[in-house]
Amino acid sequence: MRAVIPYKQENAKSRLSPVLSRTEREEFVELMLRDVVCSLREAGVKDIDILATFKYSSLSDLDVNFVIDPADLNESINKYLKKVNQPVLIIMADLPLTRPEKINDIINSEEDVVIVPGKGGGTNILFIKEPAGFSVCYYGMSFRNHCSIAKYLNCSLRIYDSFLLSTDIDEPNDIVEILLHGHGLSFEYVQNKFELESGRARVKLNCLH
Ligand X SMILES: C[C@H](OP(=O)(O)O)C(=O)O
Q: Which is nearer to ligand GTP, 112 or 145 (CB)?
A: 145
Asked if 174 contacts 190 with a C-beta cutoff of 8 angstroms, the reply is: no
Q: Which is nearer to ligand X, 6 or 61 (CB)?
A: 6
Smallest separation, CB 102 to ligand GTP (Å):
18
> Strand ranges (DSSP E) for 59-133?
65-68, 88-91, 113-117, 123-128
User: Smallest Cα–Cα separation from 39: which of 90, 99, 87, 94?
Assistant: 99
Binding positions for ligand GTP, 79-98, rule CB under 6 A = 92-94
Q: Distance between CA 116 and CA 86 in Å, rounded? A: 20
Is 8 an interacting residue with respect to ligand GTP (CB under 6 A)? Answer: yes
Is 13 an interacting residue with respect to ligand GTP (CB under 6 A)? Answer: yes
Contact residues for ligand X (CB under 6 A)?
A: 118, 120, 122-123, 138-139, 142, 168, 170
Is 12 an interacting residue with respect to ligand GTP (CB under 6 A)? Answer: yes
User: Smallest Cα–Cα separation from 189: which of 34, 7, 76?
Assistant: 34
- For ligand GTP, the binding residues (CB under 6 A) are 6-8, 12-15, 51-53, 72-73, 76, 92-94, 170
